Structure formats: C-alpha cells, structure tokens
Amino acid sequence: MTGWVAWMLVLGGLGLAVRVRRRSPRSALWRVAAWAGSGLALAVAAGLWIGALGVEVGLVVWLALVPLSALAVVALFGRRGPRRAEKPDGW
C-alpha cells in the first residue's frame, strides 16, 4: 500500500511540473514551484519506500527514480532548439 502512495506522489510531482509548464512557461516563480513540488514529492516518496521496503531496497528504488525524474524535469524545462522561421505569405 505504501508503495502505491509513493508512486502517486512521484507522478503527482511530475504532473505538477507539467501543469506549471503549460500555464506559464516563462515565469521563474512557477518554475521554482514546479522544481520544489517535484523535489518534495520525491523526498516524501523516498521516505515511504524506505519505510515500506527497508533501507536497502527502498534506497535502490529511490536512487533509480531520481535520474529519471531529473531527466523528465530537464525535458520539461530544458533548453529547446532554435525556433523555425515563419514562412512568408504565399507559401
């Protein structure tokens, strides 16, 4: 049961980051809120996994998710390539 709660926290934190990204992509405050929300969700999830699965297994699961979560956040907020130039009228 605790593992399911931990999964929901991780998904909720990433969902918060996605939602914030869609609302206001340029606001620094929203970006900080998304990072903090995702980080808090991961920290709480780590505690739940460690409590439910024991220290060794819980830490392994949590350490496996941290890089994946970091990649997801970078994918959401990372640098994008150059924008394509708009085609002139008549194309």
Say how far apart CA 84 and CA 21 lie, in whole Å.
21
Q: Are 34 and 20 in contact (CB under 8 A)?
A: yes
Mean pLDDT along residues 46-54: 73
Residue 44, pLDDT score: 74
Residue-range domain boundaries for the chain: 2-77
The residue with greater pLDDT, 55 or 24, is: 55
Residue 8, pLDDT score: 66
